Amino acid sequence: MDQNWKIETQAVQGNYAPKAAEPRTAAICQSTTFKYDSAEHMAQLFDLDCADPMYTRLGNPTTSVFEEKIALMEGGVAALATSSGQAASAVSILNICKAGQHVVSASTLYGGTYSLFANTLPKMGIEVSFVDPENSIDEMKKAFRADTRCLFAETIGNPGLNILDFEKFSALAKEMGVPLIIDNTLASPFLCRPLELGADIVVHSATKYIDGHGTSVGGVVVDSGKFNWTSDRYPELCEPDKSYHGLRYVEKFGPLAYIIKARAQYMRDLGVTPAPQNSFLFNHGLTTLPLRMERHSFNGLSLAKHLEKHSKVSWVNYPGLESHPSFSATQKYLPKGASGVLTFGIKGGREAGIKFMEACKLIAMVVHVGDARSCVLHPASTTHRQLSEAEQKASGVAPDLIRVSVGIEHIDDIIADVDQALAAS
């Protein structure tokens, strides 16, 4: 039944149906361990023959509610919640890629993910090649190797705000025989469902729109259950796993193999587990996600249009504007809205950018996006200040660039705050 509901209903009631006298709101199960009566039951848990909770590092009832709801909303078969968005991206790759193997990724990535791919995965022996997502399939194919294990990209690039050409990327992944992993953080499943557009796996920083209230850091990996792991490339999913008495994931779990393997191996060994309290807050966040995304998108577009006409603004980058290079992709892949993040250029450059940020009153100076409350950042003087001007330019951060994560306050108040801060800059 839940699969047939609209996403607004799934967000509120999906995959959580309490029985008589059970809590209407999925409660916080603040327990590390779970009690059992028989050695046989315990043995079943350890052999992965039974999905009951055993130890919170591997799974927890509050976290399961979050995992099942987000899997439903993304149209996947299963999900694995993690302690952060960074952990979700790392686990999504480590689950199918080991030292000596290779990943291809769009270059337009969140800075933390870029660093994971450019610095940390290579230290673990996994090389990543970056491709310009605007290039043709034939051009991007040149980056693939025999040992390439996946293709990675973001729905809405952060902070470039380019919209991914899903048709091109899913065709490329299919032709190269690898899964397409999509970071859907800035869009959320309300605005875009990558698994319906040819992606195989979705990751999120739940810290952003899923939480929506700036309370918790977390992440999640969702699997479509559709990728065929039985080619020679993914023996770790098909051949016996020594750490589980010779278990073969695909043979035993079919479409659930990828998520069960990620949980059994990476939650067990790395322990990047969300706290039950955070999962509780993500469940609350999901309940209102569709409503918030509508408002974020409306406010984002309204502010972008206002800024386009403002005499103190030299350029505006918002994928919902007709002037944006991704506008046709936005209409095709994000018809319900282009989310709440925009960037613009302030006349007067770096100095004016600092003054603007400091003059904002309603909009807070915060290193964050996806919050119900509006946030502003001048990257050149904050997140990217250690870089030289040339390095900043290479990473897409111009001295005049201001990033706003437009919240869900009334648009008139947001515009009034931006106008007074522009006047003060």
Ligand X SMILES: Cc1ncc(COP(=O)(O)O)c(C=O)c1O
Residues within the interface to ligand X (CB under 6 A): 84-86, 110, 112-113, 154, 158, 183, 185-186, 205, 207, 217, 219
Give whichever of 220 and 304 is closer to ligand X, judged by the CB atom.
220
Give whichever of 15 and 185 is closer to ligand X, judged by the CB atom.
185
Where do we find the tokens 């380019």? 162
Smallest distance from the beta carbon of 109 to ligand X, in angstroms? 8
Smallest distance from the beta carbon of 219 to ligand X, in angstroms? 5
Smallest distance from the beta carbon of 355 to ligand X, in angstroms? 25
Closest C-alpha to 223, from 96, 77, 97, 89: 77
Smallest distance from the beta carbon of 339 to ligand X, in angstroms? 11
Give whichever of 110 and 144 is closer to ligand X, judged by the CB atom.
110
Dihedral sign of CA atoms 88, 53, 44, 79 in order: negative
Q: Do 88 and 220 form a contact (C-beta atoms < 8 A)? A: yes
Number of C-beta neighbours around residue 281 at 10 A: 23
Give whichever of 99 and 367 is closer to ligand X, judged by the CB atom.
367
Q: Provide the b/e sequence for 115-137 (b: ≥16 CB within 10 Å).
A: ebbeeebeeeebbbbbbebebee
Q: Do 99 and 125 form a contact (C-beta atoms < 8 A)? A: yes
Q: Do 38 and 190 form a contact (C-beta atoms < 8 A)? A: no
Q: Which conformational region is residue 339 in: left (phi greater than 0), alpha (psi within -120 to 50 degrees), or beta?
A: left
User: β-strands 78-82, 401-405: how paired?
Assistant: unpaired
Smallest distance from the beta carbon of 333 to ligand X, in angstroms? 16
Give whichever of 54 and 262 is closer to ligand X, judged by the CB atom.
262
Smallest distance from the beta carbon of 17 to ligand X, in angstroms? 29
Q: Which conformational region is residue 165 in: left (phi greater than 0), alpha (psi within -120 to 50 degrees), or beta?
A: beta
Q: Provide the 8-state DSSP code for 313.
A: E
Give whichever of 53 and 112 is closer to ligand X, judged by the CB atom.
112
Smallest distance from the beta carbon of 123 to ligand X, in angstroms? 19
What are the phi and psi torsion angles at 97 (to 5°)?
A: -145, 130
User: β-strands 364-365, 375-377: how paired?
Assistant: parallel
Question: CA-CA distance, 302 to 338, in Å (whole number)?
Answer: 11
Q: Do 126 and 116 form a contact (C-beta atoms < 8 A)? A: no
Give whichever of 186 and 202 is closer to ligand X, judged by the CB atom.
186
Give whichever of 158 and 273 is closer to ligand X, judged by the CB atom.
158
Give whichever of 110 and 356 is closer to ligand X, judged by the CB atom.
110
Question: CA-CA distance, 307 to 343, in Å (whole number)?
Answer: 10
Question: CA-CA distance, 73 to 83, in Å (whole number)?
Answer: 20
Give whichever of 217 and 238 is closer to ligand X, judged by the CB atom.
217
Where do we find the tokens 């870029």? 114
Q: Residue with CB nearest ligand X?
A: 85
Question: CA-CA distance, 163 to 158, in Å (whole number)?
Answer: 10
